[in-house]
Amino acid sequence: MDETEYRQTYREVNERRCVFEKAINARRCSCNKSQRFNLADREGVSCTSESSCSRCKQLLDLLRNNASFALQMTNVPGPLPHAKEVKVQIGGMLGIQKHLHPEMSDDDLVHDIDGLAETAVQQFSSLKNLPYSEIVKSIVNFEGRLRRRSQKDK
């Protein structure tokens, strides 16, 4: 299956793509509204709730825009390059979790993205009112997996 055919089939199979798919596939976040599926030799994630998906899209856009300066980007028109997108998704959700649940500040896993987003709206009345200056610190400090060195680099 070539990449174009894969992407077309993916869109047909996954009518509501989870915007936090990278974080979920990295096994650092989970969500009670997510549903995993396999396509060819890859794993995808869909969202089971239209309203949750919409809220998550808004949250991810706010995380990207608020982290743009810290990521040394002038504007964020959409998804970021893979490593930066993973940093925003996982680091951002860990930052929100740390702020909403200080007792979990040492935890390196997010157990429910939708639950955190819902709690954030309840506590701050809008996702726009979250303390992004604090959350961005978690994004900046997040380190993904280290690259493996190839034999020629050794």
Q: Is 6 exposed, middle or buried (0-12, 13-18, 19+ CB in 10 A)?
A: middle
Q: Cα–Cα distance between 154 and 150 in angstroms, integer?
A: 7
Residue spans per domain, the chain: 3-141
DSSP 28: S
pLDDT at 105: 86
Q: Cα–Cα distance between 96 and 153 in angstroms, integer?
A: 37
Residue type, 107: D
Please give the average pLDDT of every successive group of 10 residues along the chain, which has 154 residues: 72 85 96 89 90 97 92 78 92 97 93 97 97 96 72 57
pLDDT at 79: 79
Beta strand segments in the chain, E: 34-39, 42-47
The helix, strand and coil proportions of the chain, stated in percent and rounded to the nearest 5, come to 55, 10, 35
Q: Cα–Cα distance between 63 and 57 in angstroms, integer?
A: 10
Residue type, 66: N
pLDDT at 154: 54
Structure tokens at 123: 């506590």
Tell me the backbone φ, ψ of residue 38, rounded to 5 degrees. -110, 140
pLDDT at 148: 62
- The distance of Cα 143 from the centroid of its chain, to the nearest Å, equals 14
pLDDT at 49: 96
Q: Cα–Cα distance between 96 and 105 in angstroms, integer?
A: 10
pLDDT at 1: 58
